[in-house]
Amino acid sequence: MPGTWFSEKQLDSLAISCVVKKILHSERTPYQQIKVLDTDPFGLMLALDDVIQTTVFDEFAYHEMIALVPLNVHPDPKRILVIGGGDGGTVRECLRHPSPEEVTLVEIDARVVEVSRQYLPQLSSGLDDPRVKICYEDGTKYLKGKESAYDVIIVDSTDPVGPARGLFEEPFYRQIERALAPEGILVAQTESPFYNLDLIKKVFATWRGIFPTVRIYEAVIPSYPGGLWTFTLGSKKHDPVAVRGQVVAAGRYYSPAVHQAAFVLPNFLQGAVR
Ligand code: SAM
């Protein structure tokens, strides 16, 4: 194959690859290797440790679905916490909803935010909004001692290896439950239903012991391995499937119909999370 290629290894026998037109940035931080690449067909791409985080081609699908689903389920989401998400895309989507008065981003690696500000302004522009506060800290440490402080918490993390490992474990989810107000909602990206079903089952079972309502929903993100991606939502009061009329801040991907459809799961996934 001619040209330079980027490959993200998913399994020992499987990778997702695309052509690299230009390497715009590459550095190693204390946490990870950060790359910004100009690719074909995904356009600008942020990769951490050679794992695709986001691309300008399909980032709207991921960021709208991780942010607008919970914000539309909560009747008045004023205080939002995003853990991870240093590229800014999730914060940008939260700010499209009219309710938030404060959006706090807790990102472990300041360089992800700085690099995104430099190369991916279409994602990071919302970070300069006066409602946004940024803390550079490990999400698990940030939550210690927080009680009833947030209406919606979104875990927009890297895969469950390295610094993000603790963001997929029960003590962290229990801290989140305490940090959420009585009508609070948690959403986390929970990987591919085809390649990470065991992880999804584990997260679902753990959350079932913590939240009265737990639902999984899906979106199609072509640059992620397998294309089909899951999000898990835990809710103290409101069932996301019951939301009909109050949907606001629709986007390029998200709409009231997509909201309903996203919770309809294929049989193999539905059967795994009964
Ligand atoms: N949309 C992406 C995906 O699913 O691949 C995730 C994007 S965002 C860039 C993930 C961020 O989580 C990274 O910038 C990483 O530094 C941050 N992160 C990883 N572990 C963390 C932790 N323990 N606390 C806070 N942020 C963390």
Which one, of 61, 172, 48, 176, lies nearest residue 113 by Cα? Answer: 48
Beta-sheet pairing, 51-55 with 43-48: antiparallel
Name the residue with the closest Cα to ligand 1, atom 13: 84
Same domain for 42 and 99? no
For residue 191, give the CATH number of its domain.
3.40.50.150
Question: Tell me, what's the pLDDT at 59?
Answer: 98
- Count of CA atoms in the C-beta half-sphere (13 A) of 43: 10
Name the residue with the closest Cα to ligand 1, atom 16: 109
State in Å: Cα 86 to ligand 1 middle. 7
Report the distance separating Cα 254 and Cα 37, nearest Å.
27
Which residue among 16, 35, 53 closes a domain? 53
State in Å: Cα 109 to ligand 1 middle. 8
Residues of the chain with pLDDT under 50: none
Same domain for 185 and 102? yes
Domain hosting 157: range is: 59-272
Report the distance separating Cα 259 and Cα 254, nearest Å.
7
Whether pTM > 0.85 for this model: the answer is: yes
Give the Å distances, CA to CA, from 2 to 6, 65, 126, 200, 253: 12, 36, 38, 38, 34
Report the distance separating Cα 46 and Cα 58, nearest Å.
12
Name the residue of 108, 155, 223 whose CB sits within 8 Å of the most ligand 1 atoms, as the mutation to test its pocket.
108
Structure tokens at 27: 């550095």
pLDDT digits (tens, 9 = 90+) for 85-99: 999 999 999 999 999
On the 0-12 / 13-18 / 19+ scale of CB atoms within 10 A, 116 is: buried
Same domain for 84 and 168? yes
Question: Tell me, what's the pLDDT at 1?
Answer: 56
Contacts of 83 (CB under 8 A, 6+ apart): 106, 139, 142, 153, 154, 155, 156, 157, 167
State in Å: Cα 88 to ligand 1 middle. 11
Same domain for 31 and 164? no
Instruction: Give the binding-site residues of ligand 1, using a 6 Å CB cut-off.
Output: 31, 48, 53-54, 62, 83-87, 106-109, 112, 138-140, 156-158, 163-164, 166-167, 189
Name the residue with the closest Cα to ligand 1, atom 17: 84
Atom of ligand 1 nearest to the CA of 51: 5
Share of the chain above pLDDT 70, in %: 98
State in Å: Cα 12 to ligand 1 middle. 23
Same domain for 28 and 152? no
Question: Tell me, what's the pLDDT at 146?
Answer: 96
Across the chain, which distance is largest between two alpha carbons, in Å? 56
Which one, of 31, 94, 130, lies nearest residue 254 by Cα? Answer: 94
Residue matched to tokens 């999984």: 216
Question: Tell me, what's the pLDDT at 248?
Answer: 81
State in Å: Cα 244 to ligand 1 middle. 31
Same domain for 13 and 79? no
Same domain for 33 and 145? no
Helix boundaries (H) for 120-179: 121-124, 139-142, 170-179
Question: Tell me, what's the pLDDT at 126?
Answer: 93
Structural domain total, the chain: 2
Same domain for 121 and 11? no
Same domain for 104 and 138? yes
Question: Tell me, what's the pLDDT at 163?
Answer: 87
Question: Tell me, what's the pLDDT at 247?
Answer: 74
Report residue 18: phi and psi, to 5°. Answer: -150, 165
Same domain for 266 and 166? yes
Same domain for 111 and 233? yes
Report the distance separating Cα 193 and Cα 184, nearest Å.
26
Atom of ligand 1 nearest to the CA of 159: 5
Catalytic center residues = 156
For residue 9, give the CATH number of its domain.
2.30.140.10
Same domain for 186 and 266? yes
Listing DSSP states for 191-229 in one string gives --TTT-HHHHHHHHHHHHTT-SEEEEEEEE-TTSTTSEE
- Strands (DSSP E) contained in the chain are 4-11, 14-28, 33-40, 43-48, 51-55, 79-84, 102-107, 132-136, 150-156, 180-189, 213-220, 228-235
State in Å: Cα 211 to ligand 1 middle. 23
Question: Tell me, what's the pLDDT at 274?
Answer: 83
Atom of ligand 1 nearest to the CA of 166: 23
Name the residue of 87, 157, 191 whose CB sits within 8 Å of the most ligand 1 atoms, as the mutation to test its pocket.
157
